[in-house]
Amino acid sequence: MNERSYRYLLYLISAVIAITLAIQVYWNYKNYKESERQLKIDLQTTLDQSVEDYFTLRAKNNTISFINNGENEFGITDVFEQLDFEDLDENDELRFPDSVNIKGITILKGVRADTLPRFKVKANNDLPDIHITDKKGSDSTSVKISNIKFTDDNTETEIEELTNRIVFSIKSNKLRVEKVDSLFKNQLKSKNITINHQLVYTTPDSTYQTSTNSFPGNALTSLSELIDDENKLELIYNGLNTNVLKRNLTGILLSTLLITSIILCLFYLLNIIKRQKNLNVMKNDLISNITHEFKTPIATTSAALEGVQNFTNTGDIEKTDRYLNMGREQLDKLNNMVEKLLETASLDGKELALQKGELIIADMINALILKFKPQTTKSIVFIDHTNDSSFVGDGFHLENAFNNLIDNAIKYGGKDIQVELYKSVLEYELIITDSGNGLSAKDAKQIFNQFYRVPKGNVHDVKGFGIGLYYTKSIIEKHGGSITVTTRPSTQFKIVLPHE
């Protein structure tokens, strides 16, 4: 994939993410507004229902029955006609003229008063009570009704029929805000709605509210027909957003999960494509490097063979031998490069079997340094901090691994190279430090990847295939060890090898 195609793909992925995000945000916003609208409808319905329930309870509790037990000579109608019902509500008193005899009249209040079944009148009955309060004495004609109670608690009388009675209900348009608020709170609780609120009841003469303090918030007006036109009951509330979020929490979480999953998948796809692109670049670099590395010994060998042919005809044995040695060296070099490629392939296939044996690490390092010193002007120092560096491992592959590190220090490092060997109870530590600082932290994270080479402009400035450190890391790990690199204050590679 070329750079242009990769850029277009990046634009496409960004557009998909933006569109998905916009759709999910719009969907959640629409759901939020719909839930908010539905919640306001629920509040309106709850408020109106609370008013309906209030007046229903008022009607039930204000039902009063007068029953003549047969002991009153005037009859229940005559007694009832003497009452004054003007402006009467549940807190008013029933007043009888002094001339009216109410003896033998049973007065009942409540819903059961209107639908009395067959029952026995007992002192401990479970019906609500109506207390007839006598403030002046037993001859008083002023009684106040609050609850149901029978006139004689000590007698047990079976009421067979209640035909001789009058039932009426006190009607009042007055509204007690605190009772409506109590009903409203109960309904909110049953619907799992939590808000801060207060009720305000306004009449032409005054205003009643459940809180004396001002209460900021939105307002709803009761639409109940039981409230007179000149009166108004308002609900002042806030905190509705919390309830809306609770109702939409599942949808928001699922939407967030969906968006996150899509974004992660797209970025994962982009990362795979980027890695493939980098692998393609490394593959091209590898082919270019292999071609260059192979071309040099092949050309040198061809020239040497041509010289041998010429000098053989002239009989110059010395020059013939020199050119033959030159050709042999280039063929050996070519063979080593092929071996490196084959070894890397065997590492990938996990087919490399170590041939372990007894070896001395310090002797191996000394031999490598003696080999490199004639090839460079850089200072190479080896410090052995051990008395005995015997180790059981594959000498051939370990020597190649150590060789790669020292070779890299010579090629890429500073002028001073130091190799140190430490030994502890459980492990060896081999530290190779050079005075250079050309390796960045970013490159240090990828330097052990197969075919990775630190970019230097011209890929042929330094010879190699980008497999040396990958090979070194693989060999060290096959021996149960580890290799790390630090870039500051100077470049340092550290190998840790466990030993028995």
Q: Per-residue pLDDT tens for 361-374?
A: 999 999 999 988 88
Mean pLDDT value across residues 66-78: 57
SS3 159: strand
CA contacts within 13 A on the Cβ side of 231: 19
Whether the per-residue pLDDT at 86 is higher than 60: the answer is no
Give, in degrees to the nearest 5, the angle at Cα 423 between 418 and 426. Answer: 140
Q: What is the average pLDDT across 302-329?
A: 75
With 90 as the cut, is the pLDDT of residue 49 above it? yes
Name the superfamily (CATH) of residues 357-498. Histidine kinase-like ATPase, C-terminal domain (3.30.565.10)
Q: Where in the chain is the domain with CATH 1.10.287.130?
A: 264-348
Assign 350 a pLDDT band (cuts: 50, 70, 90): low
Degrees, nearest 5: CA angle 11-17-19: 100
- What is the pLDDT, as a whole number, of residue 419? 93
Q: Which of residues 99 and 480 earns the better pLDDT score?
A: 480
Q: Give 91 or 326, the one with higher predicted confidence.
A: 326
| Residues 6+ positions from 124 with CB-CB distance below 8 Å | none
| Phi/psi of residue 452, nearest 5 degrees | -80, 130
Confidence band (pLDDT; 50, 70, 90) for 497? very high
pLDDT reported for residue 385:
92
- Lowest mean pLDDT segment, chosen from 40-49, 323-332, 337-346, 460-469: 460-469
- Distance, in Å, from the CA atom of 488 to the CA atom of 484, rounded to the nearest integer, reads 13
Tokens describing residue 155: 């007698």
All CATH 3.30.565.10 domain ranges of the chain, comma separated, are: 357-498
* 3-class DSSP assignment, residue 360: strand
Average pLDDT over residues 209-234: 85
- Enter the tokens of residue 379: 């200072």
Q: Residue 485 belongs to what H/E stretch?
A: strand 482-486
pLDDT > 70: what percent of the chain? 68
Distances (CA, A) of 187 to 183, 227, 238: 6, 20, 17
Say what the pLDDT of residue 63 is. 62
Structure-model confidence comparison of residues 153 and 448, the more confident one: 448
Average pLDDT, the chain: 75
The pLDDT, as a whole number, for residue 183 is 92
Tracing tokens 């067959």 back to the chain, one arrives at 118
| Contact (Cβ atoms closer than 8 angstroms) between residue 188 and residue 202 | no
pLDDT band per the 50, 70, 90 thresholds, residue 447: confident
Please state which of the ranges 22-31, 40-49, 210-219, 459-468 shows the lowest mean pLDDT.
459-468
Whose tokens are 């003229």? That residue is 97
Check pLDDT > 90 for residue 126: no
Point out which residues pair with 95 in neighbouring strands: 142
Best CA proximity match to 473, nearest among 452, 487, 457: 452
User: Cβ contacts of residue 201 below 8 Å, gap of 6+?
Assistant: 175, 177, 180, 207, 208, 209, 231, 232, 233, 234
For residue range 226-270, list pLDDT tens digits in order. 888 888 999 999 888 888 888 888 888 998 898 888 888 888 888
User: Phi/psi zone of residue 373: left (φ > 0), alpha (ψ -120 to 50 degrees), beta?
Assistant: alpha
Tokens representing residue 406 in the block: 């020292």
Mean pLDDT throughout 414-427? 91
Residue 141: pLDDT band with limits 50, 70, 90: very low
The Cα 241–Cα 53 span in angstroms is 28
Helices and strands of the chain, counted as H and E runs:
10, 18
Count of residues making up the chain = 500
> pTM score, two decimals?
0.47
User: With pLDDT > 90 as the criterion, what percentage of the chain qualifies?
Assistant: 20
Closest to 447 (Cα-Cα) out of 422, 416, 483: 483
**Which of 288, 416, 399, 400 minimizes the C-alpha distance to 344?**
400
Higher pLDDT, 150 or 171: 171
Phi/psi at 133 (5° precision):
-90, 125
Q: How does pLDDT run across 100-116, given as a tens digit for each residue?
A: 555 555 655 554 444 44
Tell me the CA distances in angstroms from 170 to 59, 91, 110, 173, 212, one per residue in order.
Answer: 7, 11, 11, 10, 31
Residue 420 near residue 458, CB atoms below 8 Å: no
Span 72-77, mean pLDDT?
55
Residue 427 has pLDDT above 80, yes or no: yes
CATH 1.10.40.30 fits 264-348, yes or no: no
pLDDT given at position 73: 55
Q: Of 445, 443, 407, 430, which is closest to residue 492 (Cα–Cα)? A: 430
